[in-house]
């Protein structure tokens, strides 16, 4: 996401902004942050979560790579063989 792609957004995104980008609920974005899956920082007197745009882009890229690898695994020739050591 470049500054041109999201002109109204700064370096750090709120949970609501992050949820909008990922097309999920704010609660789901909060769960990603709380679990540590999506790195974030707490800022301000009320400790509001902020996600750096570059970190969010890296998270999205990692999910694409994870999906690509899972697809390759499912296409692999030997994925239907039973486990050798159960």
Residue 49 has pLDDT above 70, yes or no: yes
Closest CA to 41 of 12, 21, 63, 6: 12
Residue 1 near residue 18, CB atoms below 8 Å? no
What is the reported pTM? 0.72
**Model confidence pLDDT, tens digit, residues 58-80:** 999 999 999 888 887 777 666 56
Compute the distance between CA of residue 14 and CA of residue 20 in angstroms, rounded to an integer: 10
User: Looking at residue 73, what is its pLDDT?
Assistant: 75
DSSP for residue 50:
E
User: Looking at residue 20, what is its pLDDT?
Assistant: 97
């Amino acid at each position: 996401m470049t500054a041109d792609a999201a002109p109204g957004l700064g370096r750090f995104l709120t949970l609501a902004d992050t949820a909008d980008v990922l097309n999920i609920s704010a609660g789901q974005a909060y769960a990603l942050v709380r679990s540590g899956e999506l790195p974030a920082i707490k800022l301000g007197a009320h400790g509001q979560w902020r996600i750096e745009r570059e970190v969010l882009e890296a998270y999205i890229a990692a999910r694409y790579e994870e999906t690509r690898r899972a697809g390759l695994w499912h296409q692999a020739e030997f994925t239907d063989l039973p486990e050798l050591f159960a």
